[in-house]
Structure 1
């Protein structure tokens, strides 16, 4: 799959988020494209971000940039900030943006 973003490295870090733990890319519900972050999406697309509905949290929409493992939204949200496949650490600060990517309400 192709991950899009600004100044991406091989582990999906971008110009906006580039610490050692910024290795998660998201498949955006609104367009089906993979981006390294919401800011990269906003800078590249002409449509607004639509979060994944909770009824589709079983869909694979999250990528570990370290091992390229894809996981469902539910698996990512319950992964305790680590890849369930390779155990690489994910940025716990990403939870501050969860509502941008995922609808946290039922329905």
Structure 2
């Protein structure tokens, strides 16, 4: 499934209008991540595994200043650095992000 959020296409499984998916669907699960392997936004790593035909590749550290995180609430894109510094809320619209997502940091962005 694919949805366009704020002009950005997001892929995944059962994505709602705010990028929640079949795997993560709380009120705060409104972040999509750009996969380095295919330069495509996915609602989560499990969505990528379900719909892509290749392995996930983390964003390299030299791409941390490029757009890589999408707020599903407003469609704003953030760099990895902006996401890391945002205190679990979108800097554009203030919508809360799931603080638990940072437990998956290495899966999306590699070692800190």
Q: Does the pair score TM above 0.5?
A: yes
Q: Indicate the residue corresponding to 2:52 in structure 1.
A: 45
Counterparts of 2:47 and 2:10, CA distance in 1: 10
TM-score calculated relative to the size of structure 1: 0.94
- Asked if residue 27 in structure 1 is aligned to residue 34 in structure 2, the reply is yes
Q: 1:73 aligns with which of 65, 72, 80?
A: 80
* Superposed CA RMSD: 0.9
CA-CA distance at 1:32 after TM superposition: 0.5
Q: Indicate the residue corresponding to 2:96 in structure 1.
A: 89
CA-CA distance at 1:104 after TM superposition: 2.2
4+ residue runs over 3 A deviation: none
Q: Indicate the residue corresponding to 1:61 in structure 2.
A: 68
Between the two proteins, the alignment pairs up a number of residues equal to 105
Counterparts of 1:78 and 1:49, CA distance in 2: 24
Q: Indicate the residue corresponding to 1:17 in structure 2.
A: 24
CA-CA distance at 1:85 after TM superposition: 0.4
SS in 1 for 2:103: helix
Q: Indicate the residue corresponding to 2:4 in structure 1.
A: none
Name structure 1 gaps, 5 residues minimum: none
